[in-house]
Structure 1
Amino acid sequence: MRHCQEKFFTTHDGCQFFYRYWPALAGRPRGAVVLMHRGHEHSGRIAHLAEELNLPDFAIFAWDQRGLGRTRASSGPALSMNVSIRDTDSFHGHLRDVYGFAHNQTVVLAQSMAAVIASAWVLDYAPDLRCLILASPAFSVRLYVPFALPLMRLWRRLRGEFFVNSYVKARLLTHDPERRRSFAADPLIQRPIAATALLELAEMGQRVVDNAPAVISPTLLLVSGRDAVVRHEAQHRFYERLGAADKARIYVPGAFHDTLGERDRADSVAACRDFIVRCFAGPTARPCLLDADRHGFSRRVQDQISRPLAACSLRGMYWQLQRLLIRIGAHFSEGLRIGRETGFDSGGTLDYVYRNQPAGTNAFGLFVDRLYLDAIGWRGIRQRKAHLEELLQKALALVQEQGMPLTVIDVAAGHGRYVLDALKAASVAPQDVLLRDFSEDNVAAGQALIRERGLEDTVHFEKGDAFDRGALANLTPKRSIGIVSGLFELFPENAPLRAALEGLAGALAGGAYLLLTNQPTHPQQEYIARVLQSHLAGRPWVMRCRSQAEMDQLLEVSGFEPICRLVDQWGIFSVTLARRRDLPA
């Protein structure tokens, strides 16, 4: 029998989370298995798998998620699924730092709502997991009240946050009479769930299914045949779209929702064990994504949204109407006017979005401009700015700790407002900041902003091409922090990105840090391609979204190692803090 140790770890926001740890029975463990319990429950409800998996040479962990079990007292209720994703990243950082388990030595086995969280974490943070096992993932929850989600959104808007009690009874979870009795009597079961978390679960489940081609970790999916809690259709669609070269799906006829807590679960548990053992039998072959700009699902999406439409077709007329509305709105809305004149991806547009102050020719224009600035993409841009500021502070602190010069370079700064705002908020002031941009208008606007803030002694702005590998590599002195924000999202090809990253590797000292933004997905990708124009000679703004796994591979071949990442709640933008590998002596 394994001996269970009870421990705590500290999350990104300072909360103490409870977890259970079963050390390997003998010798050095081959790897780690992380068990993630279903919603409303806690790690004790999945602890039986520590023995039943029969993996004596693996360390096994199970943690009480935010707001549940013995974590609830220190964390309060879980109000956001995005926070739960970041909690998951915190726990795996704890496994790495305390127990020495890298991602490629780790298995994640998650059930129900936790399976959605785990999938979203793999999608957003791109860990190099040995394998992922999802049991009855709650990509689409059965809500038996008609129009439940729209009504919840309306009520939350009117009354603020509220909680919904789960309708799920023990008899809907399992045929096992003992597990039914223990579920009903367990004082740690938390039936209420925040409306925000439930709404975000629905959105996150849809996002994960839509972007399943970006999930490339070996994956086993278990589907319960008589699941009254979640729908099968979304699970099968996820599997069929899954980007993993090594994947398997097991349909368990007659099983209720708690697939691995069922009365007759031995075969399902054995399938999990066999999948884990097989994945550890040899090295994991991960697909190379360096040519995903020419092949793969993101290129297919790009081609689809850039394909011309017949002007007389219904879709063609719909998008013509949308473009007409933008042209009309530009006469009243300042934001639309700037976008029409300079491009909706220009530095001027981004500077306006960062300011977030609606302007227009009249009350109608103000109303339209507010709607424009509240578009989900612009909200993501502003959250990206906040994440960039947070990680820049972290980078400055790390550089100071290591005794390196506090020097910063941004190779495509636009007007530079986001960098200057971030530096103003930082507790550690850099000694020298170099801002560069290819646009002379942006350089002039940035220099004026520097003068306005009285920063001429430490901040300098010059014209430069971020994709000129040689010019970047020859910059002196070598900087300790580099920034590339909002640039790579505008270019679908990977060759320019590699040139920029390799140039930055030369512009930075060994052990220096790079802050990099990425756009793995966008819910308005076709709207942007069909309606909005780019700064590039007025061409349509056609984006190709790069999966985080693809961006990480580009970083790796260019000499960088990601060490920290923040992602917005919609999964649109990520900000990565990467470290430049030490240069040879």
Structure 2
Amino acid sequence: MKYQILRFLLKTVGKLSKGISLGWRTGFDSGVMLEYVYENKPQGITPLGVLIDKIYLSNKVWDGVRSRRRMLVGQLQDAIAQYNRPQVFDLAAGVGSYLFLLPFDRASIIAGDYNQEAVNQGKAKALAQGRKDIIFKRNDAFNLTEFASKKVDILVSSGFFDILTEDDQIKTVLINGSTITQPGARWVFTIEEHHPDLKLLQESLVDLNQQPWKLVLRPARQLIDWAKPYGWELETLQRNEYFAVGTMVKR
């Protein structure tokens, strides 16, 4: 009953909040939603909407998402430093705001995503900031023939493994990513290990496919074990309360 009441409130008065309204439109786990969470600037219709948005953005899990981004950027900077202008390929970047925190022209970056709205927003941002080193393209991480890049030094999957509900989906991405990399390549990833209320997500919110948000938690070690047969070994691993961020190197 409490989740039904919460869903009703989020679908009505909650839409005064820009973040909650965006979540209903694009999915609360979408790349566009994450970009809004990263910006962390409460907005809404009327002062009440701004207040609701402030409460929404201050949720502990969203704090964890912002902490995850800081760890991710640090590990990406460390990975890029191992090469001379490497090819970076983000398999599902969304708007990819974390990519804009990387040093200009230190790498050639392809930011892929299946959602065309995210790709368009990313292109606009890259153009506005003069980031010619970041190229946004549509990408299907599950279909190797449609990959936006076929030769990669550094793979990135941020917030992507976290939202996949089937183990086979992750294994498919691991196979595809391994196919386009050589020994010495790196894979910087995030994965969600904990959440305070999975039932709330499924009963009250929707994912990017407008279905009940079913989140499957997995330990980072499981992902690392799945990647091991393809030559990947863990190089770096950091954690906060909810997420793990790691870098694997291909031997």
Q: TM-score range by the shorter chain?
A: over 0.9
CA deviation string 1:405-427 (max 9, x = no partner): 42211010101212222x1xx4x
Q: 2:228 matched to 1:561?
A: no
1:399 offset after TM fit, Å? 2.4
Q: 2:64 matched to 1:391?
A: no
How far apart in 1 are the matches of 2:116 and 2:183? 31
Structure-2 change in CA distance of 1:508 and 1:329 (3 Å) = farther
How far apart in 1 are the matches of 2:30 and 2:13? 19
Please say if residues 333 and 361 of structure 1, whose CA atoms lie closer than 8 Å, have aligned partners that are also in contact: yes
How far apart in 1 are the matches of 2:188 and 2:206? 27
1:429 offset after TM fit, Å? 4.2
The equivalent position to 1:523 in structure 2, one of 167, 185, 196, is: 196
The equivalent position to 2:120 in structure 1, one of 441, 444, 452, is: 444
Q: 2:154 matched to 1:466?
A: no
Q: Which amino acid aligns with 1:528?
A: L
Please say if residues 407 and 430 of structure 1, whose CA atoms lie closer than 8 Å, have aligned partners that are also in contact: no
Please say if residues 469 and 503 of structure 1, whose CA atoms lie closer than 8 Å, have aligned partners that are also in contact: yes
Q: Which amino acid aligns with 2:89?
A: I
How far apart in 1 are the matches of 2:51 and 2:203? 23
How far apart in 2 are the matches of 1:392 and 1:432? 13
Question: What residue is the counterpart of 2:164 in the other structure?
Answer: 491
**Could you say which structure has the greater relative contact order, defined with CA pairs below 8 angstroms and 6 or more residues apart?**
2
Report matched runs for 1:92-491 at 5 Å: 317-400=1-84, 405-421=85-101, 423=102, 426=103, 429-456=105-132, 458-472=133-147, 475-476=149-150, 478-491=151-164
1:567 offset after TM fit, Å? 0.6
Q: Secondary structure at the match of 1:398?
A: coil
Question: What residue is the counterpart of 1:541 in the other structure?
Answer: 213
Please say if residues 115 and 138 of structure 2, whose CA atoms lie closer than 8 Å, have aligned partners that are also in contact: yes
How far apart in 1 are the matches of 2:55 and 2:142? 34
Structure-2 change in CA distance of 1:331 and 1:496 (3 Å) = closer
How far apart in 2 are the matches of 1:370 and 1:345? 18
CA deviation string 1:364-398 (max 9, x = no partner): 11111111001111111101100001101111122
Q: Secondary structure at the match of 1:413?
A: coil
Please say if residues 387 and 566 of structure 1, whose CA atoms lie closer than 8 Å, have aligned partners that are also in contact: yes
Please say if residues 471 and 503 of structure 1, whose CA atoms lie closer than 8 Å, have aligned partners that are also in contact: no
Q: Which amino acid aligns with 1:504?
A: G
1:530 offset after TM fit, Å? 1.3
How far apart in 1 are the matches of 2:3 and 2:107? 50
Tell me the percent identity.
Answer: 28
How far apart in 2 are the matches of 1:515 and 1:320? 38
Cα root mean square deviation, aligned: 1.6
1:341 offset after TM fit, Å? 1.1
- TM-score computed with the length of structure 2 as normaliser: 0.94
Please say if residues 113 and 138 of structure 2, whose CA atoms lie closer than 8 Å, have aligned partners that are also in contact: yes
1:509 offset after TM fit, Å? 2.8
1:470 offset after TM fit, Å? 4.4
Please say if residues 89 and 149 of structure 2, whose CA atoms lie closer than 8 Å, have aligned partners that are also in contact: no
Structure-2 change in CA distance of 1:469 and 1:497 (3 Å) = farther
How far apart in 2 are the matches of 1:447 and 1:372? 28
How far apart in 2 are the matches of 1:475 and 1:359? 37
1:469 offset after TM fit, Å? 3.5
Q: Which amino acid aligns with 1:506?
A: T
How far apart in 1 are the matches of 2:88 and 2:229? 23
How far apart in 2 are the matches of 1:328 and 1:471? 40
CA deviation string 1:134-173 (max 9, x = no partner): xxxxxxxxxxxxxxxxxxxxxxxxxxxxxxxxxxxxxxxx
How far apart in 2 are the matches of 1:386 and 1:449? 20
Runs of 4+ in 1 over 4 A off after TM superposition: none
Q: Secondary structure at the match of 1:467?
A: coil
Counting matched residue pairs gives 251
Q: Which amino acid aligns with 1:561?
A: E
How far apart in 2 are the matches of 1:410 and 1:374? 27
